[in-house]
Structure 1
């Protein structure tokens, strides 16, 4: 989908200034989205850290329920990361398109120079909830395995 633009000749004002101001607004909005994304990540990290701390104090059958809740929270976290990624991707596509009407295109130039040398933040962000999912899975398996061992061989599990 192409950005709909009014032709310069049909615009009843300072076209370049209007494009620049709209570009600045889009940049501010993109930064706002990034800030909200960071805040959401901080909330999810805090929530998961607190939940996992509670789980480690009681590695019994209650931890299965709490770990299942933790996994659900992590899945929600991953969906949130994906949602913010899509939102920012569209925002930067529009910014890049607007730059074609400006004398300089700093964001386009930056991405061209980075080429494939950049590890996307989304990949790094998703690593954290996946690590929590692994920890929660271990917290689910531990009491189950210990219960089976105690059932099979009461002398070890007792």
Structure 2
């Protein structure tokens, strides 16, 4: 994240909050830590929802593709339209994955800013550094780079079925 973007995000995160001086030190730290824990939990829930969405779409596409192949084998009329629907489903799936990835990216940026006010920064500075900051594929392959391949492969399979249905 660019330095200017971090500054704007920091201002949006803390600019509308009650000031530290308005709290007792203990209450401020307790409230801050509770907000941090809640926010980390919400980021984890987004990741879980992303996994559930992937499982749903993988199951849907596997079932749908199998049904299409079965219908084409039986010369069902207008079955060639079904692969087009499958390709649209894959497009929707890819868009949803992109949305989840963007949401998680924003959440982890905010977690990183919050960690600047904590005694340590396990996610933002330590873990991300240990993983090569997303630049070292020997240490970490970003999940988003892998998961976007799945709807792409299904869309290609639908395209193959579509072409073969016309042959």
> Do the structures match in fold with TM over 0.5?
yes
What is the count of residue pairs matched by the alignment? 145
Output the CA distance in 2 between the equivalents of 1:142 and 1:81. 29
Q: 2:165 aligns with which of 132, 143, 152?
A: 143
Match of 1:73 in 2: 89
Question: Which stretch of the first structure deviates more once superposed, 36-45 or 6-15?
Answer: 6-15
Q: 1:127 aligns with which of 122, 146, 149?
A: 149
TM-score by length of 2: 0.81
Give secondary structure in 2 for the equivalent of 1:104.
coil
- Unmatched segments (≥5 aa) in structure 1: 147-158
- The residue correspondences of 1:1-158 to structure 2 (distance < 5 A) are 1-2=9-10, 3-4=13-14, 5-12=17-24, 14-59=27-72, 60=75, 62-108=78-124, 109-115=126-132, 116-117=135-136, 118-144=140-166, 146=167
Output the CA distance in 1 between the equivalents of 2:94 and 2:23. 43
- Unmatched segments (≥5 aa) in structure 2: 1-8
C-alpha root-mean-square deviation of aligned residues, in Å? 1.5
Give secondary structure in 2 for the equivalent of 1:119.
coil
The Cα of 1:96 is off from its aligned counterpart by: 0.7
